[in-house]
Amino acid sequence: MQSFGKLPDGREAHLYRLRHPSGFEVAITDFGGAIVRLLAPDRAGRLGDVALGFDSAERYAKDSPFFGALIGRVGNRIAGGKFTLDGREHTLATNNTPGGLPCHLHGGKVGYDRVLWSAELTTRDTLPALRLRYASADGEEGYPGNLAVEVTYSLTDSASLRIDYLATTDRATPVNLTNHCYFNLAGEGRGDVLGHELTVRARRYTPVTVGLIPTGELAPVAGTPFDFTMPRLIGERIAADDAQLRAGAGYDHNFVLDSADGSLALAATVREPASGRILEVLTTEPGLQVYSGNFLTGDLAGKAGAVYAHRGGLCLETQHFPDAVNQPAFPSIILRPGQTYRSTTVYRFSAR
């Protein structure tokens, strides 16, 4: 553990390193629970940092577009910042306006990405782990109920980073936790991700309105630029004349995973040809948001000083579907007293 700088209110943030004997390493800050650094080997065994991020808590507090952060209480978008639960309407902060339409995004103005978590170094199966806890108060950002959240980052024997989410509440509330790591398997700051090869185990996706809210349809990917059932380059069709790609300014869509029974299953695979690095994403979640870094504008410099290019990172956010709290046909995100929210995601690295 080391100091990671001061927050605007004067509190100190810290950086924690989890290192595998193989050299695979993850650095995480207790500010926003963000993955700051992730060292993975290429085909020659050379370690490289494949996660976008900053070198101090001050930068995360000022500039970060959710780099590596934990997201909650509800990840992704809620239409109009409103929902009705058990007959009562709740109004949330609206902090995003795609297409000029206000919505609630990633937990609001002060989501879990902008709070200081309680951190404890521990182990899981004898390997390093970091347990983070946060008490989310009733009424925070407009959400009902006191929510106790616990997130554990742990390394595994297979050069993987495992994330286990757990939450309980004293009042019915929506919960949809995720991580917003931006990956560039060529190395952070080394150009865009358009040459990365992506496979997603999803035969359907959720089309969106111009406000990036799902229409409610579960549409087939076949015959569209969203068909990644076989490996395709991210940049191969991103500029296609397609209304959905125009709405998201690229890929910013939820994929309906073929494995939706709650078991830990492979959701997506990414390969970067030059380095040979491969990332596999496994999750218990029913959805995966594929975001191609469309709103990175080339004005942010990362840890090593390199400017992050437009589409310089790829996010693969495991989740329940966006706006699920307003769409009864989507899998429910309501957690009630006496229930325990559990979710697991694994980022597994290899090279060839």
Identify whether the C-beta of residue 114 lies closer than 8 Å to the C-beta of residue 32. yes
Identify whether the C-beta of residue 167 lies closer than 8 Å to the C-beta of residue 147. yes
Q: Out of 104, 180, 196, 253, which one is annotated catalytic? A: 180
Identify whether the C-beta of residue 213 lies closer than 8 Å to the C-beta of residue 254. no
What are the contacts of 14-23 at 24+ separation with CB within 8 A?
Answer: 14/119, 16/119, 16/121, 16/130, 18/128, 18/129, 18/130, 18/153, 18/154, 18/155, 18/161, 19/128, 19/155, 20/127, 20/128, 20/155, 20/159, 22/159, 23/47
Rounded-to-integer distance, Cα 287 and Cα 171, Å = 25
pTM over 0.95: yes
The verdict on whether 317 is a catalytic residue reads yes
Identify whether the C-beta of residue 49 lies closer than 8 Å to the C-beta of residue 37. yes
Rounded-to-integer distance, Cα 226 and Cα 211, Å = 19
Position 150 scores a pLDDT of 98
The verdict on whether 217 is a catalytic residue reads no
Among 236, 239, 261, which residue's Cα sits nearest to residue 250?
239
List of domains in the chain: 2-351 (2.70.98.10)
Q: One-letter amino acid identity for 62?
A: K
Using 70 as the pLDDT threshold, list the residues of the chain that sit under it: none
Q: Out of 25, 141, 280, 317, which one is annotated catalytic? A: 317
Sign of CA dihedral 74, 268, 313, 161: positive
Position 175 scores a pLDDT of 98
Helix (H) or strand (E) holding 285: none
Position 65 scores a pLDDT of 96
Q: What angle do CA 352, 28, 181 make, to 5 degrees?
A: 55
